[in-house]
Chain A
């Protein structure tokens, strides 16, 4: 167990590599109830969300979710969130656990009058992996989850009042996030384990997202790192009057001064946050996240450095505690998975 943003979280159950492989090859279930849950409603909600988030509210229909950022005036990133449209004028914003208060304040500052911290309304189980649909259907048959499009959600009565299942996740695999009434969550977790799912902790959650090159706030995004530097311009609705828009438009105009890139190691060693990335005699970046990739079988890293980043394939070295590890620039994702193919 480990302490994470005030929550006691399992770092691992059987072991990070075993859990990681279970998600890539079958299905794993994560307890991610620590994620923030801010519910917005009322006449002011839509306008406030447009001012607070970069996610496109105009195309976000009820029954769907979208990814976006909460920015500062200077374009720095206060958090990255998913926003679910629960009804005609009801939304659920899901921030990182450590940033709930910051996001709540940003929503209020943007004019939202009804913001409910609904942390105790749902537990959240992430069910991820190629067998996740089969596992879900063996526990709750005929709910139509196989037809759910990416980022769509639907109500599931058995998950309790307000319970729903969404096709969202953080692993690159086909998968779901189950928003369940707390009282039913433990039984649901047990039933998924009985259906053959492997319990997965925070350790593998991190190695899985890293293989996909997904940003983690506090590493690849932060108040000092704007979304264009992180290569996430696709999650910005430029027509929307979100806070930080002017600054970000200027960055877009001149091009970001830094850019995020991937490194795949070719010699043994585990790159970690803060390690320098070196090409020839120059430091070309600093690792923001790094670990051993169970799928690739070597160390992999995301790194931030002056733009433009070296071309994919360029040889670099990562300095790990004084030792130079060989590698090459790689464009994330580091692996080919369900969500990198055409079957989105």
Chain B
């Protein structure tokens, strides 16, 4: 059973977004890391980069495949997780915590438009069944 904390919002492309100290933290879900397998590389945008909701902000690559990470929100990158860049396995071991990817400024983002945990859970069940 995949782990879905209720304190954040989710996208259909399996990212999460959560407000923290006035910034939006972004990462990939437990389901996404499990599907990818061992993450061995993560490519993240530089601080100051503009990201747009629904467009790629970076990539996560495993021994098996590479996946784009789509930004759940629109804004400017304030910080990237250099620990995840140097030790990408943290995305597997702690996707909702130390495996976060970027922090984006909160202006112009509408987290409530994204899915809650229950809705994402239903989406996952649909996607897995189909």
Contact A17-B41, Cβ < 8 Å, known A268-B85, A270-B66, A291-B63: no
**How many of chain B's residues have a CB under 8 angstroms from any CB in A?**
14
Contact with A along B33-67 (1 / 0, CB 8 A): 00001101101000000000000000101111010
The answer to whether A268 and B41 touch across the interface, beta carbons within 8 angstroms, is yes
The answer to whether B41 and A269 touch across the interface, beta carbons within 8 angstroms, is yes
Judge whether A203 is part of the interface by a CB distance below 8 angstroms: yes
**How many of chain A's residues have a CB under 8 angstroms from any CB in B?**
17
The answer to whether A203 and B41 touch across the interface, beta carbons within 8 angstroms, is no
The answer to whether A16 and B37 touch across the interface, beta carbons within 8 angstroms, is yes
The answer to whether B63 and A17 touch across the interface, beta carbons within 8 angstroms, is yes
By a CB distance below 8 angstroms, the chain A residues around B38 are 15-18
The answer to whether B85 and A207 touch across the interface, beta carbons within 8 angstroms, is no
Judge whether A344 is part of the interface by a CB distance below 8 angstroms: no
Judge whether A240 is part of the interface by a CB distance below 8 angstroms: no
Given A270-B61, A291-B63, A323-B43, 11 more A-B residue pairs with CB atoms under 8 Å apart are A12-B64, A16-B38, A16-B63, A16-B64, A203-B64, A268-B41, A270-B66, A272-B66, A292-B40, A299-B41, A321-B66
Q: List 27 A-B contacts (CB under 8 A).
A: A11-B64, A12-B37, A15-B37, A15-B38, A16-B37, A16-B62, A16-B64, A17-B38, A17-B40, A17-B63, A17-B89, A18-B38, A203-B37, A203-B63, A207-B63, A268-B41, A268-B85, A269-B41, A269-B43, A270-B40, A270-B61, A270-B66, A291-B63, A292-B40, A292-B41, A321-B66, A323-B43
